[in-house]
Amino acid sequence: MPTQSRRQLLTTAPALLLAGCKGPAQAQPPVSVPPLKQVAPFPVGVAAMTGQFDDPQFVDILARNFSQLTPEWEMKMEAILKDDGGFDYTRPDAIAGFAANHGLRLHGHTLIWYAQNPAAFERIAGSGQRFADAYRNYILAVAGRYRGRVVGWDVVNEAINENGEGERDCLWSKNLGPDYAALAFRHAREADPDAPLFLNDYFLDTMPNKRRSFLRLAERILKSGAPLTGLGTQTHVSIHMQPGAIKAAIKDLAGLGLPIHLSELDVSTRNEEGVKGALDMTPLPERLAHQARVVHEAADAFAALPAHQRYAFTIWGVRDKDSWLRRPPNAGDGTDKPLLFDDGGRPKLAARAFVDAVAGR
């Protein structure tokens, strides 16, 4: 998931109002929707953290509306690998248990991420085969532990440079070379012969050059014979998303014929169009209408995929107040409303837009 500085890149294109938006009121009208998972012919996912499982309202909304769960960060290396090289599965085990107890599919997120530089690996950087063995052992241990419990893995996360040009230079590439990603897919398949294995990244919808770099990497992994079997597009976007951009991105990604995971959807209402860091002072109902238009396009484009390419459509949080965009260091003034349910757990226009898109309306 991107940082707030990355999100500022989103405010670069005009957006259209939904028909019928009236203006000055400061809250949306009541919205009623059926459970999201009941209307979608594909898994509807959500991100969560173990600390949220003690909130009855959170659990109720999640269980009624979603059929798949992605750990927001507690299956990442930072939550599992200790400084001494040992493993701590306390939090990922809790998430796996919660998913099983509530009949939810579990999506593993993530095995290898450019942003992590754990002490256990830093100590052996430059050691050649020793580093390669530790890399393999980590993937085998984690993917193997959850074999049969996860329905898929984000194997490599955010491998493309911030500006969209080429691949990131990171701890993994420095020690294993540019084919560290293909190597990760081979190790993940060794640990789990059955789970779909995804390459996942952000801004594939807002930056066509990044999408091209992403697809070039995917093609190189496939040509190497490594078992890349799915593509994840995070879809952290804003209400100023250019109409048609998400649809174009999903169409391009689907061209490889692999399953697609729309993996981390949220639609920020906070930043003003084209003004870095400035607050959008448009009346809230208009911003929520913009948001609904973006969600409708995303759901409509995903629903139009062939059934075998619709892995899951995942929202990055349950209620607005649960979003990473409302927590430090990304919180800003705390007014962002990026999700499908409001702070009180009520469905928003965006939730209605998802239902309408899936129903072909």
Q: How far apart are CA 145 and CA 163, in angstroms?
A: 35
The rounded distance, in Å, linking the Cα atoms of 349 and 299 is: 14
Report CA 236 to chain centroid distance, whole Å.
Answer: 8
Q: What is the CA radius of gyration of the chain?
A: 20
Distance between CA 229 and CA 204 in Å, rounded?
18
Q: Is the peptide bond before 110 cis (omega within 30 degrees of 0)?
A: yes
Q: Taking a C-beta distance cutoff of 8 angstroms, is the pair 192, 143 a contact? A: yes
CA distance 318 to 280: 23
- Structure tokens, 138: 């980590």
Gap between the Cα atoms of 311 and 302, Å rounded = 10
Q: Is 162 a catalytic residue?
A: no
Confirm whether 165 is a catalytic residue.
Answer: no
158, 167, 286, 297: which is the annotated catalytic residue? 158
CA distance 70 to 153: 10
Residues in the chain: 361
- Residue from 72, 74, 167, 264 carrying the catalytic annotation: 264
Distance CA 260, CA 229 (A): 9
31, 17, 32: which is closest to 287 by C-alpha? 17
Q: How big is the CA angle at 115 (ends 114 and 120), to the nearest 5 degrees?
A: 90
User: Which residues are catalytic, by number?
Assistant: 158, 264
